Structure 1
Amino acid sequence: MLTLTAAAAALGTTIALTGCGASGGSSGDVTLKLIAAEYNVDGAQSTKTYWADLVEEFESKHDIKVEATIVPWTEIHAKVAQLVKDGKAPDIAQIGTYADYADDDKLYSADQLLSIPVQSNFLRPLVDAGEQRRVQYGLPFAASTRLLFYNKELFAEAGITEAPTTWDELRDTAAQLKDAGVKYPYALPLGPEEAHIETMLWMLGGGSNGFVDPGGSYALNSKENQSALKWVKSNLVEPGLTGPGAPGELNREDAFKAFNKGEVGMLNGHPSLARKAEEAGIDLGQVPVPGKDGKPKTTAGVADWIMGFKENGHREEIGKFFNFLFTDKNVMAFASQNDLLPPTVSASEAMEVDPEHKALKDFLVELPTSLLPPLNKTSWGPLNEEIKKNIGRTMEPGRSPESVLADLAQKAEEAENREE
């Protein structure tokens, strides 16, 4: 998932909403059942309002009704899985994963639902991540990338005039911040919340393809990945440049909170953190995530998905809804209200030149060449949980990154064999 979840979980209720007259005679008396994730992190109602407005406009233009249910992120995956298991799959689900449903032949493919212009408008990295066996089933709903954030005030106090562009420069900058008394010179969140993205950024910066090789097979224990994590441990963790506590015990949200309190010199952040940091009064700087020898050829991308289920046989109606959903107006509305990136070429280009969204420009530039985790693999879900739980151990005293990566590589091989 792309956004913060703690406040969404606190909502604790499922919000049902419908457009004008969601029951009654329409195209064959069809009412599409849509279940979508709650993106609000502050108790607001913008997700509910977005879908209500979109449904109302869609129904005014089509003889099809839509009944939408909004569910917190902490509950939605289990809810959709249970509905599918009970033979009550929704027509449309907007969630964080699609692979298992595609593998079980539960989903319509993109070309069964979308017009050619709409399908061809998705950004290429998101299309690749949404494909199984070269067929697209996951439709990217919203996206994000990462940049290196830094606190300009702390940099100035430490006498630092330029942001780092290489790993060595990042290490030297962190050392200066430590000498100036900064609590977290570089915050390294390898706790179980989102450790896989932080790890992937370092792997890509070291020249690897992340968790898989270019052919798509798992390659966690590659020499490049070993070298990258060894560098992080010896150059940042062991000299005390990542702040108090073990990186494996620092979650992303805690790192972000520390950044907004002015306790962090540098960390890798996403668009919504930029807004919250500025609201907290942080003089924020942002640059591409440094690599070993400069800017990496790619950075880590993140996406959430929307998909159409076959169970109720509403292919035509789902297709009409999706073709409406993916207009620039609707794509940009959702992305902008949630500090996310649009998944389409035309909306990205429009947002990039719009002064209202200038804060997102650097993220938009990174997205077309980003690389996503192997979301198309049914084995990725359980393997990712292992990575998030265990990758922080690579930074523990007396433990080698190679040994932890070897254990994870073994789990990946076992998962790959089960998948086949």
Structure 2
Amino acid sequence: MGDWGVRQRCVGVTAAIAVLGMTIALSGCGSTGAPRSVTLRLVAAEYGTNSDTTTQKFWSALALAFEAEHPDIKVDVRVRPWKTIDSDIAEMVEEGKAPDLAQGSSYADYAKGDKLYTADEVMSVPTQANFLSQLAEAGRVNRIQYGLPFAASTRLLFYNKKLYRDAGLSAPETWDDIERDARALAERGVTTPLALPLGSEEAQSETLMWLLSGGGGYTETADGSYNIDSPQNVRTFTWLKGLVGEGLTGPVPPSKLDRATAFSAFSNGQVGMLNGHPALLEAARKRGVEVGAVPLPGVRGKAKSSMGSADWMMAFRQNGHGKQIRAFLDYVYEDKNVLDFVGRYDQLPVTYSANEAMAGNRKYADLEKFRSGLDSSELFPYGKTSWSSVNESIKKNIGRAVEPGGRPADVLGRIARDASAAEVAE
């Protein structure tokens, strides 16, 4: 019999006993005073690369430890791949089956629809105040925080030191250096001198890195409006299209190249340069690749800023478990758990206290270059409810800008029109 049937049975029996004037303890009818258990459902993203490193192991261990301290709260974790997690969450919400907590790449649409708890509703003051200010700000819609940063990352330009030494090259500092190095690597038979993954998996990230490198970006700094087809952005993709046309970006068209494939090729020693995040550093080293890493060069020197990214935790209102969510999130964001996660998956912590602990620990020395650049990095416009649809337009269209016969101005113009339409609908 389900919970609803048990409750009905208990109501009926209790009423009958009341009529007879009897007082009896009823087994299973809640008379013991034991707290009713609540199960939180969490949809989490997969950061691992195989069954040994799967994120399920992290969450299962964390849930068990939490449940030992909170026996009235259970946590059911389901891990989804990054490629589908956003659509998986959207489908659950649309079907009226929203999880209590979910990780994803955007939260603003759900906040607009009043489907999310605010941060102060599901976090203690010390926990919420511990978020890095830049990330806390990025988690706001109309000045109210809904997005809870969970992990962060920045990007550097990686290069294969052995391939560079063999070609007599030094680390690139400008666009001219990148172009010169790519040609030199191609002449020595390197399969992919410069990997340019503009496939649907992560095109929005690769695009923003190069736009920042060229002095542009997705938005105007002054008012936050989209400026995707700016002259700087058109110049950037015109330059990239030239590299593609010369065959310097490898045998797979950028529009068909996903990040995971490019990272694997770099780890196998087949790529001279590509934009990488901390997890790739360790993966490549395990395969014997000697990795160099520098800030992404700009036209005439260091780019104006690097790209930063954050993955978001969202707390849905539907099931009414705000009190239990609060207890769980306060536990999740304790330093021991934050550092455990970022250490396993080479991410950057999102809290001040965990950053301080990381800075003083040699165990995380490889992450220092990435961590130190987070404060000055530029993030996606996460707080714009239009970002989700703009993000999809970039993934769908941007690869065409560098294809044979493609016109960067036209492709960027189309994405800009999609962005304007989405912004009007906000």
**Is the 8 Å Cα contact of residues 36 and 68 (structure 1) preserved in structure 2?**
no
Taking structure 1 as reference, are residues 78 and 64 closer, same or farther at Cα in structure 2, changes over 3 Å only?
Answer: farther
- Deviation by residue 1:107-159 (Cα, 9 ceiling, x = unmatched): 11112222232212212332232111111101011122111111111001101
In the alignment, does 2:41 pair up with 1:33? yes
- Deviation by residue 1:242-265 (Cα, 9 ceiling, x = unmatched): 233432232222222221221211
1:406 maps to 413
Taking structure 1 as reference, are residues 57 and 354 closer, same or farther at Cα in structure 2, changes over 3 Å only?
Answer: same
1:267 maps to 274
Q: 2:97 aligned to 73, 88, 91, which one? A: 88
- Deviation by residue 1:364-411 (Cα, 9 ceiling, x = unmatched): 112222222222233222322221121111112333211111111111
Comparing 272-281 with 174-183, greater Cα deviation is found at 174-183
**Is the 8 Å Cα contact of residues 212 and 219 (structure 1) preserved in structure 2?**
yes
Amino acid at match of 2:56: K
Q: Distance in 1 between matches of 2:313 and 2:147?
A: 6
Q: 1:42 aligned to 50, 63, 69, which one? A: 50
Q: 2:257 aligned to 237, 247, 250, which one? A: 250
Q: CA deviation at 1:313?
A: 2.5
User: Gaps spanning 5+ residues in structure 1: where?
Assistant: 1-23
Q: CA deviation at 1:308?
A: 1.5
In the alignment, does 2:207 pair up with 1:192? no
Amino acid at match of 2:208: M
- Deviation by residue 1:285-344 (Cα, 9 ceiling, x = unmatched): 111111223222321122221122222322222112111111111111111111211111
**Is the 8 Å Cα contact of residues 26 and 65 (structure 1) preserved in structure 2?**
no
SS at match of 1:312: coil
Amino acid at match of 2:415: L
Q: 2:399 aligned to 371, 392, 399, which one? A: 392
1:165 maps to 173
In the alignment, does 2:87 pair up with 1:58? no
Q: 2:132 aligned to 113, 123, 127, which one? A: 123
User: Gaps spanning 5+ residues in structure 2: where?
Assistant: 1-31
In the alignment, does 2:366 pair up with 1:359? yes
**Is the 8 Å Cα contact of residues 27 and 63 (structure 1) preserved in structure 2?**
no
Q: Distance in 1 between matches of 2:354 and 2:99?
A: 27
1:1-400 alignment, distance < 5 Å: 29-44=37-52, 46-62=54-70, 64-73=72-81, 74-160=83-169, 162-208=170-216, 210-214=217-221, 215-234=223-242, 236-400=243-407
Comparing 133-142 with 210-219, greater Cα deviation is found at 210-219
SS at match of 1:368: coil
Q: Distance in 1 between matches of 2:268 and 2:107?
A: 37
1:19 maps to none
Which structure has the larger Rg?
Answer: 2
**Is the 8 Å Cα contact of residues 220 and 409 (structure 1) preserved in structure 2?**
yes
**Is the 8 Å Cα contact of residues 94 and 305 (structure 1) preserved in structure 2?**
yes
**Is the 8 Å Cα contact of residues 151 and 349 (structure 2) preserved in structure 1?**
yes
Taking structure 1 as reference, are residues 26 and 407 closer, same or farther at Cα in structure 2, changes over 3 Å only?
Answer: farther
Q: CA deviation at 1:58?
A: 2.1
**Is the 8 Å Cα contact of residues 156 and 277 (structure 2) preserved in structure 1?**
yes
**Is the 8 Å Cα contact of residues 34 and 66 (structure 1) preserved in structure 2?**
no
SS at match of 1:71: strand
Comparing 34-43 with 409-418, greater Cα deviation is found at 34-43
SS at match of 2:373: helix
**Is the 8 Å Cα contact of residues 37 and 74 (structure 2) preserved in structure 1?**
no
SS at match of 2:388: helix
**Is the 8 Å Cα contact of residues 186 and 242 (structure 1) preserved in structure 2?**
yes
- Deviation by residue 1:168-195 (Cα, 9 ceiling, x = unmatched): 2222222222232222111111222211
Amino acid at match of 2:320: G
Comparing 67-76 with 255-264, greater Cα deviation is found at 67-76
Q: CA deviation at 1:79?
A: 4.0
Taking structure 1 as reference, are residues 27 and 345 closer, same or farther at Cα in structure 2, changes over 3 Å only?
Answer: farther
SS at match of 2:425: helix
1:13 maps to none
> TM-score, normalised on structure 1?
0.87
Taking structure 1 as reference, are residues 124 and 26 closer, same or farther at Cα in structure 2, changes over 3 Å only?
Answer: farther
**Is the 8 Å Cα contact of residues 124 and 368 (structure 1) preserved in structure 2?**
no
Taking structure 1 as reference, are residues 57 and 226 closer, same or farther at Cα in structure 2, changes over 3 Å only?
Answer: same
Comparing 94-103 with 136-145, greater Cα deviation is found at 94-103
Amino acid at match of 1:49: K
Q: Which runs of 4+ in 1 moved over 6 A?
A: none
CA RMSD of aligned residues (A): 2.1
Identity of aligned residues (%): 48
**Is the 8 Å Cα contact of residues 39 and 76 (structure 2) preserved in structure 1?**
no
Taking structure 1 as reference, are residues 192 and 84 closer, same or farther at Cα in structure 2, changes over 3 Å only?
Answer: closer
Q: Distance in 2 between matches of 1:102 and 1:64?
A: 28
Amino acid at match of 2:395: K
Taking structure 1 as reference, are residues 165 and 67 closer, same or farther at Cα in structure 2, changes over 3 Å only?
Answer: same
- Give the number of aligned pairs: 393
Taking structure 1 as reference, are residues 82 and 242 closer, same or farther at Cα in structure 2, changes over 3 Å only?
Answer: closer
Q: CA deviation at 1:46?
A: 4.5
